[in-house]
Structure 1
Amino acid sequence: MPEKFVVVGAGPVGSLAALYAAVRGYHVELYELRPDLRDPATTPLNFTKSINLAISERGVNSLRQTGLTTLVKDVVSSTTPMKGRMLHLRKQGKYVREAQLYDARGKNLLALDRTSLNKTLLDALESMPNVKLFFHHKVVGVDFNKKLAWFERRTPSDPSSRGTEIEISFDFMIGADGAHSAVRYHLMKFTPVAYQQEYIDKLWCQFHVAPSPKDGKYRLPPNYLHIWPQDEAMFIALPNQDQTFTSTLFLTRQGFSDLDAHPDRLVAYFQDKFPAVVPDLIPADELVKQYNENPHLPLITIKCTPYHFSSSGVIVGDAAHAMVPFYGQGMNAGLEDVRVLFDFLDQYPTDRAKALDQYSKVRTPDAHTINDLALRNYREMASDVKSPLYLLRKKIEETLDVYFPGLGFATQYSRVTFSNMPYSEVQRRAAWQARVLNCAVGGLGVGVLGAMWVWGRGGGWARVKRGVLLGCCWIARGVVGVVRGWE
């Protein structure tokens, strides 16, 4: 008789975990606190308060590995390709747009509506005979030793009221119930979990950019992630298939407090910091309305380990490693969790405890790494993208990647977004690459300065050439570093 896999949380990560279990023949039950978002009568709660998603290779590959032939096609068909960033800046008092491609080989990031992805996954689950979906069910207790769970079944017409408590048994539970995970809370009663959370000094508020009233089309070029970088503040816009953009303001808590205290300054603030947003994209009165009506929400980052207890339970996605959205990897990392988890379950089909132990050991450094990279990437998006030094280094790395692929160079962003390389390995390669480039640039600088000094003292060509040779020796050290690998 097939084992019973219980998945808690019917978001994209939980739904994918249920699909992975179902295609392997397990009996699957998926429980969700919220109503079925596919019901037309449903106001989908957090789904209207979610920063637009961007799905990249890790997420697409995880969908692909389900083995369901049409799943990737169905998901990708509802995405909008983004080939790079479009920066909106003022230079010498003039408003300019500058495009920066994501990848030297022309790979795209895909803008995606979370609800659309979720509906596709739930539809696939509902078509499978060994899957049952339960909405309006809240976890109130889990005993991972006895493999029992208790849910409060709420009345759909009054989801805020206390409902009937039910008890279920399971062979294996997967918690995919988000940053404030109830499964993680109960898991921590059974195993010593090292846990860390932080609310960063940024809040976010979402805005809607309607199509142009003239022709009903996009108000901006649609195949870009649009960024207004302002160091301590940032405004972004991602395209949707209906010719709209979903935009987000990121600002410090003090910044939001100042705007809240002086609402008459809001429009002027946007006009000063984010050129051409008001009124070109959002009329002034609409901007004020959306700012006041849409919540100003915190950004949390969570790290913990291990992710499992014995052979009976595991947490994935935001339940295990919630992260800030600045690398666009939160959902992608969660979907990749599912693929990696089931790779280990397949590898140890008769020893799930060992599979889960390996999963926690392997996945923890990767999850912690992408959490850290996501935090750092705010600086890249809000500040570094304006820096000539950043652009020069990006150009060097991309040129080496395209014309000398054997050297193993690539931008960190490209490896994170367009490969399935483990995040911790991406970080190791980036550190190695930085050392090599710094050595090469330092050598070139030594050679040039040495030559200038010798020439200035009347040293003649022979000594100038020795100065240049010294610089070449430093560059050679960088090349040796490439040949020897990551030291």
Structure 2
Amino acid sequence: MPQKVVIVGAGPVGSLAALYAAVRGHEVEIYELRSDLRSPEITQNISQSINLALSERGIHSLRQTGLPDLADAVLKETFPMHGRMIHVRKQGKYVRQSQAYDARGRSLLAMDRTGLNQTLLDHLDAMQNVRFFFHRKLVSVDFRQRLAWFENRTKNDPAKSDDIEVPFDLMIGADGAHSAVRYHLMKFVPMSYQQEYIDKLWCQFHVPPTADGDYRIPPNYLHIWPQDDAMFIALPNLDKSFTSTLFLPRSGFEHLVASGKVVEYFDEKFPGVVPDLITDEQLRKQFNEHDHLPLISIKCSPYHYGSTGVIIGDAAHAMVPFYGQGMNAGLEDVRVLFEFLDRYPNDQAKALTEYSKQRTPDAQTINDLALGNYREMASDVKKPLYLLRKWLEEKLYLYIPNAGWATQYSRVTFSNMRYSEVQDAASRQARILNGVVCVVALSFIGSAFWLTRTGGVQQAKKGLLRSICLVAQQAQKLTQG
């Protein structure tokens, strides 16, 4: 039965939710505090945003809308990244080292957040049962009476405003980390809420194409300059530029602002950036002119009230960007939510209850994984022990597929397995791998001794790999038993 569905927030997650609702024949109204980002004057002054890494969860959610051309329209605006490119100094020399994302060759897709948002809005524009309301600020909601009040703030005269009363059957809050819907939802349901600003700020930089219009560094990678407490990254764009981000503790930003030694800092910490990618002048200019923004992590529960209100995306589970799953998780929220709504068409309260029950542990899991992945990106990627463990995991992933082995990263990024189940599987495999690592260490010692006596390098490698697989298979059997 068609309902009136009010979506608060016209970002990518809210826009996708509107598409899912509209395809099902509901009357959809989208309320957004900001202007339409497709307006020419807005497009030229888009706020800073960390580029997206679109992966399987996001793509699958786009394909499940029921609009056959939507995913293809989005994907044509993406750029494949096969892995990480690590930029470090070794023995005083600047070197670049690639690390594949997936042993089977699958890639992440870099894309501009605004481009994704525009594509979704354009598809909504073509639907007769969708209406947009920009410059609308949510000021109050009564989830029992199913009424909301929005302040109408016109662009030409911000001082002129009035309140509009809007009835609804279902309100979906997709209005970001500082969600007004979540704030009003808390008045109707006892919601557990946890908010944390981590000790990192971020600042965006633009790396232009070369003079002859080409990429300045290999484009099919997420480039990382790891420095433990700091990190610089660069993601490719279709126009041959890179969108780059500096992550640094707040005290580090304060020191650079006070000293003005931004170029000197980059020379010391991030080899190959200045002046190869960004000139001295542009680095100083962008550092001084671009905001130094905080990173927030939010957990809450439940995500709904009765049959009338629910929050999704950052409104429910804002996370730091270090696993590249924030947007993918938000898009997946939409798919999971509407699967429950379709499953219980005559009991919307049950649908929302089941959604909260399933999605909360999954979202909180990826939230934790995102927090933990900073250490991997900024520190572990340059350590021999990490590289050894990664090599072992990938070999087991390739050579004993019947045991169900897969890396945590591949399950998070290249599957639709629930995040909480990914973590359970990763914990089981960690126990196995710890045993394998001990065997491998002993095998290395034995192999090294044998190599010094015989010189049989290839045979030793094959024997070592066979030993790893046999040990892992046996450990897998013991764990399952």
* TM class by smaller structure: over 0.9
2:24 is aligned to: 24
Asked if 1:434 is matched to 2:430, the reply is yes
The residue number in structure 1 matching 2:327 is: 331
- What SS is found at the alignment partner of 1:426? helix
Tell whether 2:318 aligns with 1:322.
yes
Deviations 1:44-63 (A, max 9, x none): 76x42111111100000000
Q: What's the CA shift string for 1:100-144, capped at 9, x where partnerless?
A: 010011111000111111111001111011111111111000000
How far the C-alpha of 1:448 sits from its partner, in A, is 8.6
CA distance in 2, matches of 1:295, 1:119: 24
Q: Is this contact kept in 2: 1:443–1:475, CA < 8 A?
A: no
Q: Indicate the larger mover: 434-443 or 422-431.
A: 434-443
Whole-angstrom CA distance in 2 between matches of 1:130 and 1:72: 21
State the match for 1:217 in structure 2.
214
C-alpha distance in structure 2 between counterparts of 1:348 and 1:440, whole Å: 46
For 1:147-162, list aligned pairs within 5 A.
147-158=146-157, 160-162=158-160
CA distance in 1, matches of 2:410, 2:472: 22
| Structure 2 contact 82–220 (Cα < 8 Å) conserved | yes
| Rounded Cα–Cα distance in structure 1 between residues aligned with 2:406 and 2:129 | 44
Mapping of residues 29-40 of structure 1, within 5 Å: 29-40=29-40
Identity of aligned residues (%): 67
Matched letter for residue 41 of structure 1: E
TM-score by length of 2: 0.93
* Pairwise CA distance, 1:163: 1.1
Give the letter aligned to residue 423 of structure 1: Y
Tell me, yes or no, if structure 1 residue 378 matches structure 2 residue 377: no
Aligned partner letter, 2:55 = S
CA 1:417–1:475: 2 relative to 1, 3 Å:
closer
How far 1:401 sits from its partner (Å)?
1.3
Alpha-carbon spacing, 1:486–1:164, altered in 2? closer, same or farther (3 Å) = farther
1:415 to 387, 411, 415: 411
Secondary structure of the equivalent of 2:97? strand
Q: Is the 8 A contact 1:429 1:486 kept in 2?
A: no
In the other structure, the counterpart of 1:390 is 386
Equivalent residues of 2:400, 2:473 under 8 A apart: no
- 1:483 aligned partner: 477
Deviation, structure 1 residue 441: 2.7
Residue number in structure 2 paired with 1:292: 288
Q: Which residue of 2 aligns with 1:170?
A: 168
Q: Which residue of 2 aligns with 1:464?
A: none
Q: 1:448 to 1:109 in 2, by over 3 A?
A: closer
Shift of 1:393: 1.2
Contact 1:140–1:151 at 8 Å: present in 2 too? yes
Alpha-carbon contact 1:428-1:486 (below 8 Å) kept: no
Any residues of structure 2 matched to 1:125-144 within 5 Å, and which?
Answer: 125-144=124-143
What residue identity is the alignment partner of 1:237?
A: A
1:192 is aligned to 2:190:
yes
One-letter identity of the residue aligned with 1:171: D
Is 2:400–2:469's contact at 8 Å kept on the other side of the alignment? no
- Work out whether residues 439 and 474 of structure 1, in 8 Å CA contact, stay in contact via their aligned partners in 2: no
Question: Counterpart of 2:451?
Answer: none
Compared with structure 1, are the counterparts of its residues 84 and 143 closer, same or farther at alpha carbon in structure 2 (3 Å cutoff)?
A: same
| Cα distance, 1:486 vs structure 2 | 5.7
Counterpart residue type for residue 368 of structure 1: Q
Residue 448 and residue 294 in structure 1: after superposition, are their counterparts in 2 closer, same or farther (change >3 A)? closer
Q: Does 2:308 correspond to 1:312?
A: yes
The amino acid of 1:17's aligned partner reads A
CA deviations 1:259-316 (Å, max 9, x no partner) are: 11100x2111100100010000000011000000000000000000000000000000
1:376-403, Cα deviation, whole Å (9 max, x unpaired): 0000000010011111111111111112
Write the distance in 1 (CA, Å) between the matches of 2:345 and 2:225: 50
Structure 2 Cα separation of the partners of residues 198 and 141 of structure 1: 26
Deviation, 1:43, is: 5.3
Q: Identify which range, 147-156 or 438-447, moves more after superposition.
A: 438-447
Structure 2 counterpart of 1:246? 243
CA distance in 1, matches of 2:479, 2:222: 34
**Secondary structure of the residue that 1:226 maps to in structure 2?**
strand
| 1:14 aligned partner | 14
SS in 1 for 2:405: coil
TM-superposed CA distance for 1:437, in Å, is 1.1
Give TM-score, length-normalised by structure 1. Answer: 0.92
Could you list the per-position Cα deviations for residues 29-50 of structure 1 after superposition, in whole angstroms to 9, with x for gaps in the alignment?
Answer: 11101101111122576x4211
The unaligned stretches of length 5 or more in structure 2 are 449-465
* Equivalent of residue 225 in structure 2, options 207, 211, 228: 228
Structure 1 residues 154 and 98: alpha-carbon distance in aligned structure 2, compared to 1, 3 A threshold: same
**Which ranges in structure 1 are unaligned for 5 or more consecutive residues?**
453-471
Question: Residue type matched to 1:225 in 2?
Answer: L
Question: Does the 8 Å contact 2:322/2:374 carry over to 1?
Answer: yes
Q: Is contact 1:37–1:44 with CA below 8 Å preserved after alignment?
A: no
Contact 2:399 2:469 in 1 (8 A): no
Q: Determine if contact 1:89/1:228 at 8 Å carries over to the other structure.
A: yes
Q: Indicate the SS of the match to 1:206.
A: strand
Contact 1:38 1:119 in 2 (8 A): yes
**Structure 1 Cα separation of the partners of residues 440 and 409 of structure 2:** 26
Counterpart CA distance in 1 for 2:160 and 2:179 is: 19
Amino acid at match of 1:299: L
Matches within 5 A, 1:45-56: 47-56=46-55
Contact 1:439 1:475 in 2 (8 A): no
Q: Check whether the contact 1:59–1:333 (CA below 8 A) recurs between aligned residues.
A: yes
Q: Secondary structure at the match of 1:203?
A: strand
Match of 1:208 in 2: 206
- Give the match for residue 145 of structure 2: 146
Which letter maps to 1:390? Y
Q: What is the distance in 1 between the residues matched to 2:447 and 2:88?
A: 39
Query: Which amino acid is the alignment partner of residue 56 of structure 2?
Result: E
Displacement of 1:440 = 2.6
Aligned equivalent of 1:455: none
Amino acid at match of 1:203: L
Is structure 2 residue 353 aligned with structure 1 residue 357? yes
The equivalent of 2:279 in structure 1 is: 283
Task: Spell out, residue by residue over 1:422-470, the C-alpha distance to the aligned partner (whole angstroms, 9 max, x if none).
Answer: 1111111111111001123335557899999xxxxxxxxxxxxxxxxxx
2:476 maps to amino acid: V
Rounded to whole Å, the distance in 2 between the matches of 1:96 and 1:362 is 45
Aligned-partner residue type, residue 178 of structure 1? G
Q: Which residue of 2 aligns with 1:460?
A: none
Letter matched to residue 240 of structure 1 = N
Deviation at 1:413, TM superposition (A): 1.1
